[in-house]
Structure 1
Amino acid sequence: MTIHSEAIEIPVDGESIAGTIVSPSAKVPAILFVHGWGGSQQRDLARAKQITGLGCVCMTFDLRGHEKTESQRLSVTREQNLADLVGAYDRLVSHPAVDSSAIALIGSSYGGYLATLLTALRPVKWLALRVPALYWDEEWKLPKQALDRQRLSDYRQRPLAPADNRALGACAEFAGDVLLVESEQDDFVPHSTLMSYRSAFVSAHSLTHRIVDGADHALSSDRSQKAYSSILSAWISEMVIGARLDRYPHHSPWYS
């Protein structure tokens, strides 16, 4: 199967952010990767290329405040980064190879938080969240970097319900399939935060919760990276690729 890689620019609020679309030739489901705070699309590209080989269009991109726009790190807000994600989503679904009714989001940490918010704004069928962070609703337009870190740490230790938090409220309305991946030794997003997310998905079609044993927040070790890749690939194969083969049986990359 032929795979095409295209570097793109995504217009947002009169500026542009960089992205990359990796796609096969046939009309297929699409997966949008959302990196965490301090990360970049480079961390997702290897996984995107692997999953594209299974028969999906994958897209990675850099949120404002990162990579080429790192100069905005101290000023960019959650509102602006959500606008980045909306722009990336809209660019992805406009791709001619994409089945717009079959969109998956894969978000890590801050990117997971933003991904849940996007589900309230755009159609999403599958949602994979690795160590999704939580932030209070107020100070929405304050620079993200200016949020009080100790207060965030305390906030994430609290049991929170959908009525308490906009992101959790979006989770409660999400009716698709969900993957939650937790790091056993996470110092930034504790078990209590994962439990708040898990309990919020009351309308989900399915919910899979996995813990990467011995892993820290950033998946610093090769073992942790491989474990997460294995979890993600298995879930994508079951949910996204499985649904694709049910809908387009003759588009299988193994069909001949």
Structure 2
Amino acid sequence: MSAQSETLEILVDDEAIAATLLSPPAKVPGVLFVHGWGGSQQRDLARARGIAGLGCVCLTFDLRGHEKTIAAKESVTRAHNLADIIAAYDRLTEHPAVDTDCIAVIGSSYGGYLSTLLSTQRAVKWLALRVPALYWDEQWHTPKGQLDTTRLQEYRRRLLRAEDNQALRACSAFRGDVLLVESEHDDFVPHATLMSYRAAFDKAHSLTHRILDGADHALSEDRDQQAYTQILGNWISEMVIGARVGNYPHQLVRYS
């Protein structure tokens, strides 16, 4: 992603002075947004437009079981939705302007969980997870809406090791840069779940953990939406600019 450099001469008064022309790379990063269960691409669109302004190609989409395919909500499984994400990723990387070595995936809640699994099947450089949910490995082909929600809440309150869960195993294998965003008052994804994710990213190139004080799971207040947009925008800017100048953080950074 470093700038292309060309040495040349500039003629001035019959003399030549040395110069170097730097131009942006021919290809740019791609950014894939993955919404949560019950959500849609609509909430991601404003953030995608902002990140596109940094010089990225962004793709938002609706998972099966949502919006135009809402009729499938009662039958769609995690396997179906992971296939949706893989198909969306492949469509993004087909864009001629996308640098396939510089792909960011931004997932919220259920979408964050599935995004970690995507990273085991496709190349992902940057992974941003807002309130990523956790699900047990069994019942993979059971309709997602039929999973026991009470059991899920109990499961998420446990501190889990990477070997306990396929999403956490994916996190442990991930070597890119990671952003974790937690909501202080989250009734669906508790603090223990974020700590399970955080501990699993033990091989990440860098890890940034942010907590939105006073926020709920859905970021119901406008101020929380704005705070998340700022956190995400700043982090993506740091990653994209770092890629262009070849200046990444060189240590695993963990902070809240």
Instruction: Name the TM-score class by shorter chain.
Output: 0.7 to 0.9
Give SS of 2:230's match.
helix
Aligned match of 1:160: 160
Aligned match of 1:120: 120
Q: Is the 8 A contact 1:29 1:244 kept in 2?
A: no
Q: TM-score, normalised by structure 1?
A: 0.85
Give SS of 2:44's match.
helix
Q: CA 1:234–1:158 in structure 2 vs 1: closer, same or farther (change >3 Å)?
A: same
Runs (4 or more) in structure 1 with deviation over 3 Å come to: none
What does the per-residue CA deviation read over 1:186-228, in whole Å, with 9 as the maximum and x for residues that have no partner? 0000000000000000110000000001000000000100100
* C-alpha distance in 2 between matches for 1:152 and 1:33: 24
Q: Summarize the alignment of residues 222-233 of structure 1 with structure 2, pairs less than 5 Å apart.
A: 222-233=222-233
* Matched residue count: 223
Give SS of 1:61's match.
coil
Does 1:150 find its partner at 2:150? Answer: yes
* C-alpha distance in 1 between matches for 2:55 and 2:149: 41
* C-alpha distance in 1 between matches for 2:162 and 2:69: 33
Q: Is the 8 A contact 1:184 1:212 kept in 2?
A: yes
Unaligned runs of at least 5 residues, structure 1: 1-24, 248-256
* C-alpha distance in 1 between matches for 2:30 and 2:72: 29
Q: Summarize the alignment of residues 32-71 of structure 1 with structure 2, pairs less than 5 Å apart.
A: 32-71=32-71
* C-alpha distance in 2 between matches for 1:244 and 1:143: 42
Aligned match of 1:7: none
* C-alpha distance in 2 between matches for 1:48 and 1:241: 17
* C-alpha distance in 1 between matches for 2:55 and 2:26: 8
Q: Identity over aligned residues, as a percent?
A: 72
Aligned match of 1:174: 174
Aligned match of 1:96: 96
Aligned match of 1:18: none
Aligned match of 1:31: 31
Q: Is the 8 A contact 1:181 1:211 kept in 2?
A: yes
CA root-mean-square deviation: 1.2
Unaligned runs of at least 5 residues, structure 2: 1-24, 248-256
Q: TM-score, normalised by structure 2?
A: 0.85
Aligned match of 1:14: none
Aligned match of 1:201: 201
Structure having the higher Rg = 2
